[in-house]
Structure 1
Amino acid sequence: MMSKRFKILCLLLIIAIIIGAIINLNTGFLSLRIEDFFQNSSHNQIAEIRINRVLVMLLAGISIPTSGFLMQEYFQNPLAGPDILGITSVASLSVAFYIFFSHDILIPEFLQNSFLSLSAIAGSLVLMLILLSMSNRFQDKSYLIIFGFLVSAFAGAIVSLLQFYAENQSLKNYILWSFGANNMVSRNQVYVLSILLFTGLFFCFKTIKPLIGNSLGTSYAQSLGVNLKQLKLLIIIASSLLSASVTAFLGPILFIGIIVPHFCRLIYNPSKLWQQWILNMFLGMLVMLVFSIIAEKTQIPLNVISSVFGIPVILGMLLKQNKV
């Protein structure tokens, strides 16, 4: 049963999300009227761009925090996340390879978005498999964070090398992508992202109940009939799909997968995983809408805003853990 407090929290977040979406639709160089969003007018294309922007922010707000929430619950580490563990960096590296080496290949436009997302997902899946195999070797799972940092540094070095030798247009395309330009997402990309999101959420739904058992300890989980190997596989697929799909279209949106689950645990009982998952999605959507408004008002890239906001929060988490 959902508590009264949880229902109130969800209601407040939904109201804030609706307000944030409306503000987003009215944020830009031009002031739009209501009819511009529903009728053919001179500003109809601008209205469509803003609708796409809001939709992709909502999808990203669901995807990235859910991915971080799954990884934190599985590894039992509040600092685990798609960016800290290197998944975002490897997805970015895969996209870089695609952008820099596909310009000489004739690919139909309707397939380009699919290949972009597939390259990001393939890279993140490979890394997740490596991370999970490493988790069996490390007694202390916090070593995975160090491993993820090394992977991120290595991926960053290769991307820098690719940028050094890249042609001008390919370099420009990659830089624009890496800024997290949410205004450049087309409706077709929103559709592809939606399909990947709902596929990832389906696998996520399958993991919540086993994760509840896993949080009580491996032996206890096995006594409850939890298939730990299946859980590991589901975590790989769900986390990779959710984080890499957003990275493919919006660039590396850093730290959101860590800070949103952290705030959700602060405002509600962290042991109630079903409610935590729902709160992560609602709070994630609100945070991404707020970041989108700031990005439009200031013209600062989205990934810069997420980093500026996320780094102090993570530093505070580390200091708090050190005190304990």
Structure 2
Amino acid sequence: RKESMKITRDQLQEYFETPLPSVEMLVDAFTFHAFEIDSVEGDLLDVKILPNRAADCATPEGVAHELAAILDLPLKSAAVLNYDSAPTVAVTVAGVNAILGSDFSREEFLGVFRRLQFRVEEGGDGFNVVAPAQRTDVLILEDVAEEVGRMLGYDRIVSKELPGLAETPDQARFRGIEKVKDFLVERGFTEISTQSFAKKGYIELANPMDKTHPFLRTNLDDNMKAALERAKQYAPLVLSPGQKPKLFEMGAVFTEDGERLVLKTSEPVSDLPEIKDAPEYVSVQYELGPYKPFSLYPFITRDIAPSDVHVGDIVMYQRGRAHILHRVIEKRADGTFIFKG
């Protein structure tokens, strides 16, 4: 969860001898260097602090310290930093450039470390880098690479086309799955995708995102039942009268025998094909054309065309479970009419 730090330009200026740039330029500087500004009111900035930076940027002094690194400006008084409990990260110029796809120089690396107040011990082709202890997000090589890219600017990393595949990928399994999905869609089914976590199961997660669902699911039945109940509630709003929701899900389940792919439908389906490799199958292509409004007065009026309705009549129509009454205000030559909505 992001923390919010509201701070004015004048508050930031208290930490600097050098005059700070305008509010607009401060916003650009923070945003360009991976800080989100939620809103600006006058000279008040609402800076969003990511969880990994809460330890060092959750105070006005912390935000000022970050701004000093971004703008490469000295603070009035340097903070006393602790490095004792921070890990040492071995870094090479080539290693970081390989991660970023960049071509930054050794001198630029040293400039970034100076601005961020990282301790640096040079040796051979690389560095041993120690971040201040409050920078709890800088623990491994990739963290240092992120800081280098953030400070020097990702705009300086040249876009490069990825190399082509050495061989054609084997899509037989994927195409077979799509064939079964298309079969069901053609018969009025809608695909759903539900979470793989469950309250009980054979495989327990070491660090579950939801502690009430710490296991991997053993079936698709439970989620299908819950999804179908919800679909029935909304069916009158999105389906034609008398039409019932038909759902299917294809997903992995995890039993005592291991992981396997399972298909579950909300109702029985005759001649349902089995899931098997289909290397030659070409999936159905769906395209959306340009939107054409059906009313000349969208969101205000609606077009309908019963032949026995006249101007001044009261029309009742059903929207979901609600019945709506409106008065006809105009009938057109083509037989349609409009009413207040």
In which range does the TM-score fall when normalised by the shorter chain? under 0.3
**Greater RCO (CA < 8 Å, at least 6 residues apart):** 1
Looking at secondary structure, tell me which structure has more helix per residue.
1
Q: Which has the larger radius of gyration?
A: 2
The normalised TM-score by structure 2 is 0.19
